[in-house]
A and B are shown apart, each in its own frame.
Chain A
């Protein structure tokens, strides 16, 4: 059992959790993730580790409530526990010195980008951050990213905050500028990472993306997370989750990630029904 030690609501749908997981806390590196299962009947879902506190034996997760499990997690309170937390999983991000680096986060993907950017900064890179989302309430970690970034640019699709447009609009400006961006780390929704990779390809700038494929075990056992990279089959859970964005077959992965879309809806509706009952005072 893993107790939720602290919980902070960052936006209407995005929450930060500090969860007891002492073994994971000791070993986790930027780019690692955990698989969590909330309860006996729960599914296993991968979540990127945002940070850890070895002394307290905790890890930090930042999660957007979109599916059944992430919404059920959001309903949990401090002191409640999670049945299973396994990790750290995945190959850690290769942290190299590039010089000037653009770190591009889309929505809650910014949370996954945060520990990587932090490590890149420690390795001597100058960090230029771009955070984008549909609207202002989905922009997270602006302040935290600002602590080590040379500059932080915000874009929103509806123009409710920062520059109106997409992260690629801002990234293009950075690539065109004399800053000398020599590497890009982009984490966010698949269409965003695809657009970033297409853009940086034109400029010949190395780009790393983090792929959120469908996983069951997260240890290389099911092969459900297989992606095509440079024409070869790779498992996102063990070979990744990060890959060279210029070689990823994004279209295939976008299609594969839709496999359970109708069943996810069924699960979500049940979760909503449960939430309504709780709010209405029906369930105890």
Chain B
């Protein structure tokens, strides 16, 4: 493990962390174009030289899919960008997406040695740079499929876990069919994450690449209804199934007034805007109604996406209401920072208790109470406790709840023998196998609400498990054949 960069560590530490070029905050808060334009080549080069090329690269351990970060950054130092992205692809098939949406500050960059005394190396931005360089210079080459297996595998759901599992199995040489309930592929990357964080051209490109490897795609196909899992085995002759249907069912707080007009789940709000392009109404048919004052409830990335989208749709005041404090927010730090720049008003330690409506059942406000932090709860975070008599009303015409999602129950309820937890998630073992033979599951369907990268890790792991399962089965069949002969 020789060093590529001749600079001394002390010299590298003097280099300031390179920041992305970003669209001006005022301007971007009114458009749907991508906020961050990433690093240009010069900045990427400088940033790569900040890497200490540690003998023990802990960043790799910090990455959920263990990308060989040290090696890929060394290739950047040598201007071998195609080699760098290839290095990433050994572990992660969607670098352009992960470079944009991964919470690096709590993963690779959190453990970066440079980060102990100085800002961490911008690993995520470098990942994005090489991925974008690859597509801008048409450097992508299709993987070579060495073997062909006769077994077919069905992938249910086309979000990050399904896309990854499909790509991995196709590369191994299996016939892969991907089923998607909506009319467009991508799952949460399509309906959930807004264009200003993940331009659709990036997603479309990944989908085209997956098709090019030979993955067959059925859209408008709701497994459980259009065909059940058992029918996929018995009639469609699939040998294994991967379930990656995510956590797409919205949860509501259960406070009065949630069914008023002007009250949305974040899922509905974001689906209307992202999937259906309601921001282009009436050129696109799907409408959206948004007041000049909008309150979004929640502290995660979905809440952040919803509140920033509200600004872009024209809200003068967009409030983010969260019952805990800033420190407990699960959202990516960068998104919180961007939201603040865009004029989002944060109301921490504030808990909504009632949505107020007028005679026509339209939202006119939201009543909240102030909270204070008490003892730590089961999650280890200090539990917010209401302050008596602190009730107040925020005048808004739109309320968007982004307090979490749970798995859609359709497959669980139409697949006999599939074990489901109390939270509605599919129960899996270490290998991501379920209680039913040949059925594997991963991503939010098994986790109940996590990140894109963890879903991708599951998709990859499930592909390996499916390969293992089918190989064992094939060998047994051969043994029987030999024994019979």
Contacts and interface: CB of A to CB of B under 8 A. Distances in A.
B5 interface: no
Interface residues of A, number: 41
A220 B249 contact: yes
Contacts of B276: 43-44, 216
Interface in A54-105: 68-69, 83-89
B205 to A, nearest CB: 18
A88 B225 contact: yes
A53 B284 CA distance: 33
A87 B226 contact: yes
A123 interface: no
Contact of A221 (B258, B260, B286, B408): B408
Residue from B221, B225, B262 having most chain A Cβ neighbours under 10 A:
B225
Contacts of A224: 264-265, 268
Interface string A206-217: 000000000011
A219 to B, nearest CB: 5
A263 interface: yes
Contacts of A24: 226
B259 interface: yes
A71 to B, nearest CB: 11
A37 interface: yes
Contacts of B222: 86-87, 89, 219
Contacts of A223: 249-250, 252, 265, 267-268
Interface string B273-287: 001110011111111
Interface string A18-32: 000001100100000
Interface of A: 23-24, 27, 37, 41-44, 68-69, 83-89, 216-217, 219-224, 226-228, 233, 238, 252, 255-256, 258-260, 263-264, 266-267, 270
A247 B259 CA distance: 16
A221 B285 contact: no
A91 to B, nearest CB: 10
Interface in B218-272: 219-222, 225-227, 248-250, 252, 254, 258-262, 264-265, 267-268, 271-272
Contacts, number: 125
Contact of B361 (A68, A85, A221, A255): A255
B454 to A, nearest CB: 21
Contacts of A264: 287
Residue from B182, B191, B267, B360 having most chain A Cβ neighbours under 10 A:
B182
Q: Which 5 A-B pairs have the closest CB atoms?
A: A222-B268, A43-B285, A255-B361, A86-B220, A263-B287
Contacts of B267: 221-223
B181 interface: yes
Contacts of A263: 281-282, 287, 289
A267 B287 contact: yes
Given A86-B183, A220-B249, A42 B285 contact: yes
A86 B225 CA distance: 10
A68 B285 contact: yes
A258 B222 CA distance: 29
A253 B172 CA distance: 51
Given A83-B183, A87-B222, A259-B261, A219 B286 contact: no
Nearest to A2: B220
A268 to B, nearest CB: 10
A84 B225 contact: no
A24 to B, nearest CB: 7
A233 B252 CA distance: 9
A238 B226 contact: no
B183 A256 contact: no
B409 interface: yes
Contact of A41 (B248, B261, B285, B360): B285
